[in-house]
Structure 1
Amino acid sequence: MSAHRLSLPARLTRHAVLIVTGGMMLLPFVWMISLSLKPPGEIFHGGFSLLPDRWNAWENYTTALTAAPLPRFMLNGVAVCAAILALQILFCAPAAYALAKLNFRGREVVFGLVLVALLIPHQVLALPLFILGYQLGLLNSYAALIFPFVVSPFGIFLFRQFFKGIPDDIVHAARLDGLSEFSIVWRIMLPMAMPAVIAFSIFSVVAHWNDLFWPLIAVRQEELMPPSLGIMAFKNEEAGNDYGPLMAGASLVVAPLLIAFLCAQRWFIEGLTAGATK
């Protein structure tokens, strides 16, 4: 056996740890789906079972889609996440290109500030952002859900790491062909960094689709609520103690993220590993 290969007990232990950890992470989601299939009497039943004795899925999911404007909440989430992602790429890609391929005074200082920004929780900035939104008259609007996130330090960092791995000869050849720096970003660098773009897109969409803290502060009207805040409104006003429709609504909110990740997981892993090794 090669010295670089793990022994059989070590491999079994590693896989056992991975299986147990993965099971612990998946258990809440499996339980959520299980509750969404059960009638009220079985949800608080003393026994434990994943599958219901009497299927109540149709009633629960119908209530989740009709008792509250859940489709509207999800449509709001799609619009807000898409706008945030587009603006983030618009601002982060040129900034990352400048930090990766352009030589200018203070470049390392700027990159250091990006790293410092990665360490600051977004909740710390909530109060100044709220005051700024109030003074600009943006609160209780779609703009209020978008403007605090248009620049992402993580996006700049990830794109910069990927751009650093692209040979400088490609950039020099593009300049000799007469392309401007912005044209190089959008026509050469970004297409070559597509795994990083997909990885960042998943991070961005998941973060803002699930975000509850800022929407809870920024909007009050029900027609503006994203899915996470809409689920709270659904619980308080419609579902009450009927957890079947509530879990059905939560399952519907989680499903698009799960499907998107399963479809893009190969590029997601490639984007993260490539950026980590540059």
Structure 2
Amino acid sequence: MSTHSYSLGLSIPTAIARHTILLVTGALILIPFVWMVSLSIKPPGEIFRTSFTFWPEQFYGIENYTKALTASPLPQYMLNGVIVCTAIVTLQILVCAPAAYALAKLDFPGKNLLFAMVLVALLLPHEVLALPLFILGAKLGILNTYAALIFPYVVSPFGIFLFRQFFKTIPDDVVHAARLDGLSELAIVWRVMVPVALPAIIAFGIFSVVGHWNSLFWPLIAVRDQNLMPPPLGIMAFKNEEAGNDYGPLMAASTIVVAPLVIAFLAAQRWFVEGLTGGAVK
């Protein structure tokens, strides 16, 4: 048996095992979403049946989605999510890009210590900071406002780390050439580094939007006004006040909230993958 056929014989079972694991993992991730969509189009009498079928005997989707959109201010919740996520991502890029450029391309005292602090911050769950952030928000008088939902996330350690890794893949000669052309350091960031790092920015934007769109813990602490609630907190209020045990409209509301994230990811998945893998190669 030739070496080629021997390696091929080994690679085929390995590929089958790899794809089997991926398919099983993907199915486990998708099952809750498939179940959610199925329940959103079923009448109450079919939701708790012991046997599961995706398509209901009686289509009840119009009623469920109509109730989800009219019985609660779901459009307002989603608008709040858009406002908060857009503001957070914009401010994070404005802060993280220059910080990452400094850590990647500039030499100054304490550079390694600052980067070590960024890595430490990556390890801290945001819930640990909830109490001091709440006290700070109370002293600043921003609780129960959009600012309370935006302010704690302006600096993203993950964003600084991701941008730094991507900026380090850009040759230093590009930076030197930009300096010879008379560009300031900030101009180099926005006119040279950021356009080249666009895949990393898109990948980070997707991570940030998904994380803050789905955030429940901090909004539950920071806001009480229903007109300021982001989607997850709004759905919880909808369950407590309107839906109760009527899971059809509740699943319809959840489907509506999740749909923009799925569409955005499918539209930007090429840049998402490129942004995550680009910083790994230097």
TM-score of the two chains, using structure 1 as the length reference: 0.98
CA distance in 1, matches of 2:120, 2:225: 35
The match for 1:98 is 102
- 1:42 corresponds to 2:30: no
- 1:140 corresponds to 2:144: yes
1:245 to 218, 241, 249: 249
Give aligned-pair identity as a percent. 72
- 1:151 corresponds to 2:151: no
The match for 1:270 is 274
Shift of 1:7: 2.2
1:175 to 157, 175, 179: 179
2:203 to 192, 199, 214: 199
Unmatched runs of 5 consecutive residues or more in structure 2:
none
Shift of 1:137: 0.2
- 1:57 corresponds to 2:58: no
CA distance in 2, matches of 1:80, 1:4: 53
CA distance in 1, matches of 2:222, 2:236: 15
Moved segments of 4+, more than 4 Å: 2-6
Task: Describe the shift of the 1:38–1:227 C-alpha distance in structure 2 as closer, same or farther (beyond 3 A).
Answer: same
Name the SS of the counterpart of 1:276 in structure 2: coil
CA distance in 1, matches of 2:48, 2:99: 53
CA distance in 2, matches of 1:19, 1:45: 27
CA distance in 2, matches of 1:2, 1:191: 46
Letter in 2 for 1:104: F
Letter in 2 for 1:131: I
Shift of 1:125: 0.3
The match for 1:121 is 125
Task: Describe the shift of the 1:2–1:260 C-alpha distance in structure 2 as closer, same or farther (beyond 3 A).
Answer: farther
The root-mean-square deviation of aligned C-alpha atoms, in Å, is 1.1
Shift of 1:52: 0.5
The match for 2:20 is 16
Name the SS of the counterpart of 1:7 in structure 2: helix
CA distance in 2, matches of 1:131, 1:248: 36
Letter in 1 for 2:255: S
1:81 to 59, 82, 85: 85
CA distance in 2, matches of 1:194, 1:266: 12
Residue deviations 1:205-254 (CA, integer Å, cap 9, x gap): 00000000000000000000000100001100010110000000000000
Task: Describe the shift of the 1:14–1:46 C-alpha distance in structure 2 as closer, same or farther (beyond 3 A).
Answer: same
Letter in 2 for 1:259: I
CA distance in 2, matches of 1:179, 1:4: 54
Name the SS of the counterpart of 2:63 in structure 1: helix
CA distance in 1, matches of 2:51, 2:153: 45
Name the SS of the counterpart of 2:238 in structure 1: helix
Residue deviations 1:250-275 (CA, integer Å, cap 9, x gap): 00000000000000011101110111
TM-score of the two chains, using structure 2 as the length reference: 0.97
Letter in 1 for 2:259: A
CA distance in 2, matches of 1:69, 1:257: 19
The match for 1:110 is 114
CA distance in 2, matches of 1:105, 1:8: 53
Task: Describe the shift of the 1:4–1:215 C-alpha distance in structure 2 as closer, same or farther (beyond 3 A).
Answer: farther
CA distance in 1, matches of 2:278, 2:7: 23
Shift of 1:276: 2.4
Name the SS of the counterpart of 1:53 in structure 2: coil
Letter in 2 for 1:169: D
Shift of 1:4: 6.6
CA distance in 2, matches of 1:138, 1:217: 12
The alignment of Structure 1 onto Structure 2 pairs a total of residues equal to 278
